[in-house]
Amino acid sequence: MAAAAALQFSDHRPKTSLHFATDARPGSTRDETMHSARMEKGAARATPSSGVPRMAQATLARMAIRPGRTGMKAPTALLLIAALAASAPAMAGHPRPAIERAADAVQPLVDEAGQRGIRVSVGLADVSRSDGAQRIIGSTDSYNPASTIKLALLATVMRQADRGLLNLDAPIGISPYMVVGGAGDLQRQAMPFTTTVRDVARRMVVLSDNTATNVLLYYVGLPTVQALLDDLGLQTMRFNRQMFPGEKIGEPANAIDTADTLSLLHAIYIGDLLNEQSRRQVLDWMLAQEVDTKFGALPDTSRIAHKTGETGTVTHDVGYFLVPGHETIVAVLAEVTTSDGYDETMRIGNPVVQDIANAVLDALDNP
């Protein structure tokens, strides 16, 4: 890294420094003194982006014009400049990537939560560019996904629509036996109830409607969801249980980890999983999220497209922070190991998720 820094900064340091270091040869004491003053003044005004500390620049300027007194030859001066550039702050004048600043900001929050019995995993992925970096901070183990698993079903529905295998505007009937409790308002509709596939998908995301989720799972079939997960190469993410409480359809039970969550969200946003129209529809629904805890409790949610998930022991929020030029996938998974009650888990865990989201957003907003 030091060598790389030296090369990087040597390309950007002022040309005058190189010129005087190699060519300046004042002919008299008076000329030498005036020339030295000019060099030191120029060095003092040099910006940090040159890669060489200002005091060192002035010293090098004096050394460069007095080869007879210092015994320093031009090549030696150049080597010293490179060494000093390498010892300067590695990113002087070049702001660190936003994702690295965000990772540094959340690390102490993850550590502090762990000391309080909250197992936290934070995933960050830069989607402002096709080769953006990814970071995972905290736990890399699996979690109960709660309602965040609904994004896998949503991606499946949209891919089927893109392939012409289903019509989002087709009518779909909901029977009383499909109705479950928990989040959502379909359970309060008079049954049987008829709407469209699109409306059911919207309710699943915007309201986290559990009945809508079960209806769509019946509609596309579990093997179709699993095929999508397999196509994306996801090793941990599984959707084998219906919602609330739901019948377990297969083994293992529903599961996610941060790495697979980042991969799924990345494929939705920047990959070829969905066409542009479907991608836009997914983002619009996630931007319209009505659950106002965790990410939804931030002061400005207009740039946050997200999906929550929570049970008696976990509280999660995952999605996209759409900061122009720094668009980033953010996944925060939290398990409160000291609680087995829903209210207590939300009381303890939600502020942690919110604080982490605030720290990430601040890092993205302030390069």
Instruction: Reply yes or no on whether the pLDDT at 280 is more than 50.
Output: yes
- The mean of the pLDDT values for the chain is 79
pLDDT value, residue 3: 36
Burial of 179-194, coded b for 16+ CB within 10 Å and e otherwise, reads bbebbbebbeeeeebe
**Which pLDDT does position 131 carry in this prediction?**
84
Bigger pLDDT: 14 vs 348: 348
pLDDT at 124: 98
Mean pLDDT of 151-164: 98
Which DSSP symbol is given to 235? S
Query: What share of the chain in percent tops pLDDT 90?
Result: 57
pLDDT in tens, 179-237: 776 775 677 776 788 999 999 999 999 999 999 998 999 899 989 999 999 999 999 99
Give Cβ neighbours of residue 318 (< 8 Å, ≥ 6 apart). Answer: 123, 148, 151, 261, 265, 306, 307, 309, 329, 330, 331, 332, 333
Answer whether residue 323 shows pLDDT above 80: yes
Confidence (pLDDT) at 251: 58
Mean pLDDT of 127-147: 94
Per-residue pLDDT band at 58 (split at 50, 70, 90): very low
Based on the number of CB atoms within 10 Å of its own CB, is 352 exposed (0-12), middle (13-18) or buried (19 or more)?
A: buried
pTM recorded for the entire structure: 0.73
